[in-house]
Amino acid sequence: MIEVMVATVILALGTVFLSQSFFISLDSYNYCSRYLQVMSWADEKVWEAEESLSRLGPAAALNNAGSFTEKGRNFTWYLAHTPLDAEGSLYKVDFAMSWQEGARKAGIQRSTYARYEKKEE
């Protein structure tokens, strides 16, 4: 009788550990899937800011923040650009996006530089 109880406990623990590892794998898959979904959108937003700053320099009108919903998930993004020199010809562009992934907050960050050359008239 005791052998049956011990075998049942071992079997139950094995089942719990297997299901826990399955759910951890599923959570990781969902995170990677979501990450790949928004990656191209984030790269496009960074490229758009870089292009605008390269063409217009200090006169560039950029959206600094926003949010959107895709497949039932809310995504929030922030964009900041700072001049790195006194003439305003070199800018650092920082982009951050975050979303709720289960119990944790997930996110990505991108940084790039944009160079503005004044056109002589």
| Polymer length of the chain | 121
Residue 112 pLDDT exceeds 80: yes
Rounded to whole angstroms, what are the CA distances from 53 to 43, 57, 94, 121? 15, 5, 13, 19
Tens of pLDDT, residues 12-57: 999 999 999 998 898 888 888 888 888 888 899 999 998 888 888 8
Distance CA 109, CA 65 (A): 14
Tokens of 5: 């109880």
Could you state, in order of their start, the residue ranges of all structural domains in the chain?
A: 2-115
What's residue 97's pLDDT? Answer: 94
Tens of pLDDT, residues 63-110: 889 998 887 888 999 999 988 887 778 999 999 999 887 778 888 999
Class at the top of the CATH hierarchy for domain 2-115:
alpha beta
Distance CA 121, CA 115 (A): 19
Question: Using an 8 Å Cβ cutoff, are 77 and 45 in contact?
Answer: yes
